């Protein structure tokens, strides 16, 4: 069951009871005297903007004589609500937060093309925003969202376990990763059985990363299904080999994303793939047995592509969009422009947001708080989504994962699994 939405004003003009009642009964934005911008988002988007003296928008709010009413949902309910609102004759929401793998051509048509706004009243140093994130919000040649947050995948490793296994440095190629994962599938000095690498089986991120490590993909940005069959076969064969060697958990078929975090914290796995933003959690001394010892590097490509093709890590991003049926689009753009500024981007990053600007990672204050800033910036420069949005994307992903699991567990030959992926997913692809 998903969480109930929460609505909150950034200025305390209403008592908490009034806000709670409005959220609980109708999930409609709280209306206040004067000018109000209603924003539909996830709670995290509101949180990283700060509050009180730390409110990153306080000067903008004062200058515009406006208050913001956030209505927040978890990710999937949020997208459903946003698309319903944008389909109405008119919506009270001026800004909605959109996930980059959702806007098909039909959905994108519900939102304002933003190039005219950018041309008339440009966002500060727009080219500084990672190009892959901007591309993810460009549908049918039209920019419909301004990136605001991302989760880029990196290769995390337990430095202490690598040292126990006689490994002095993390891998720089996929082949080295496979070898190190095999070497760290052992019993640690603490008496803990260690699996070289832990991955969830229900997320496309991981087989996509392995395919890209050989120069392939599941669905390319121009909608080519398995554009390099040999690379996909190599990626799945690598995963299957790791499973056969005991370098992936015996419970691979039922392993979930949260398991990856706990296994690394407890020293039950030496490697995993997670967003760089998980670094603080993995090293939290209140949760982790190895605080300060869990580090991250770029997920490595194979020796075959090293120096030839940049490894494209998977990234998921959020963007701010303006529904076409919004009432005050000028105010909505002003909000987006302010949130996208270098100052606010840095402030949100310090508050735990994944910054979309490449320059933010160079800030000394951020580096002091985030030891992974430099490597994350490097990976972000070439990262892209797991697959582009299309109407049958969810079903295509589920089908892809069914065949991947059969291949990894050895229940179907890798070549046959790749053939089945192509045959079964092809009818779901856009014409």
- Asked if residue 68 has pLDDT above 80, the reply is yes
The whole-angstrom separation of Cα 242 and Cα 206 is: 13
pLDDT-derived band at 119 (thresholds 50, 70, 90) equals: very high
The mean pLDDT of 302-329, rounded to a whole number, is 94
**What confidence score (pLDDT) does residue 233 get?**
98
Q: Can you give the pLDDT at residue 367?
A: 86
In 127-177, the DSSP E strands lie at 138-139, 142-143, 146-158
Segments of 10-100 assigned E as strands: 35-41, 66-72, 93-99
Q: How confident is the model at residue 257 (pLDDT cuts 50, 70, 90)?
A: confident
Average pLDDT over residues 152-179: 97
Q: Mean per-residue pLDDT for 95-100?
A: 95
DSSP 246-278: T-S-TTGGG--HHHHHHHHHHTSEEEEEEEGGG
Total residue length of the chain: 431
When computed from its CA atoms, the radius of gyration of the chain, rounded to whole angstroms, is: 22
Domains of the chain: 6-151+315-380 (3.40.190.10), 153-313+387-428 (3.40.190.10)
Determine the pLDDT at residue 365. Answer: 87
Q: What is the pLDDT of residue 377?
A: 87
Whether 219 shows a pLDDT value over 60: the answer reads: yes
pLDDT of residue 27: 47
> Helix/strand/coil (H, E, C) string of 352-421?
CCCCCEHHHHHCHHHHHHCCCHHHHHHHHCCCECCCCCCCCHHHHHHHHHHHHHHHHCCCCCHHHHHHHH
Q: How far apart are CA 193 and CA 269, in angstroms?
A: 8
Per-residue model confidence as pLDDT tens digits over 46-67: 999 999 989 999 999 999 999 9
pLDDT value at position 5? 54
Whether pLDDT at 15 is above 60: no
Measured distance CA(118)–CA(126) in Å, rounded? 9
């Amino acid at each position: 069951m998903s969480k109930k939405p929460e609505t909150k004003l950034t200025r305390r003009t209403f008592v908490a009871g009034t806000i709670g009642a409005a959220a609980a009964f109708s999930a409609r934005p709280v209306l206040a005297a004067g000018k109000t911008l209603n924003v539909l988002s996830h709670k995290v988007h509101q949180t990283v903007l700060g509050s009180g003296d730390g409110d990153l928008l306080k000067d903008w709010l004062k200058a515009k004589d406006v208050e913001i009413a956030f209505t927040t949902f978890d990710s999937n309910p949020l997208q459903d609500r946003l698309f319903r609102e944008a389909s109405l004759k008119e919506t009270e929401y001026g800004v909605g937060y959109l996930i980059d793998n959702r806007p098909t051509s039909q959905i994108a048509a519900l939102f304002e093309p933003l190039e005219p706004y950018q041309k008339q009243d440009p966002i500060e140093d727009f080219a500084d925003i990672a190009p892959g994130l901007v591309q993810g919000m460009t549908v049918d040649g039209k920019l419909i969202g301004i990136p605001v947050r991302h989760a880029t995948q990196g290769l995390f490793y337990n430095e202490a376990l690598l040292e126990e296994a006689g490994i002095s440095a993390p891998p720089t190629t996929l082949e080295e990763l496979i070898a190190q994962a095999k070497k760290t599938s052992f019993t640690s000095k603490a008496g803990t059985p260690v699996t070289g690498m832990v991955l969830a089986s229900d997320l496309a991120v991981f087989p996509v990363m392995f395919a890209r490590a050989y120069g392939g993909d599941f669905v390319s940005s121009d909608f080519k299904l398995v554009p390099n069959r040999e690379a996909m076969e190599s990626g799945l064969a690598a995963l299957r080999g790791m499973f056969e060697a005991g370098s992936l958990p015996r419970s691979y078929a039922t392993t979930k994303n949260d398991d990856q975090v706990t296994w690394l914290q407890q020293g039950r796995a030496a490697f995993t793939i997670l967003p760089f933003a998980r670094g603080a959690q993995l090293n939290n001394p209140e949760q982790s047995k190895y605080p300060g010892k869990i580090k991250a590097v770029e997920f490595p490509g194979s020796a075959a592509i090293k120096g030839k093709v940049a490894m494209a890590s998977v990234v998921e991003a959020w963007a701010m969009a303006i529904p076409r049926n919004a009432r005050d689009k000028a105010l909505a753009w002003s909000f987006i422009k302010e949130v996208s500024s270098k100052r606010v981007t840095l402030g949100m990053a310090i508050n735990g947001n994944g910054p979309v600007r490449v320059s933010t990672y160079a800030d000394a204050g951020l580096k002091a708080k985030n030891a992974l800033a430099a490597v994350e910036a490097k990976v972000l420069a070439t990262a892209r989504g797991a697959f582009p949005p299309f109407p049958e994307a969810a079903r295509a992903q589920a089908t892809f994962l069914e065949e991947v699991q059969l291949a990894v567990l050895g229940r179907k030959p890798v070549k046959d699994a790749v053939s089945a992926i192509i045959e079964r997913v092809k009818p779901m692809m856009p014409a």
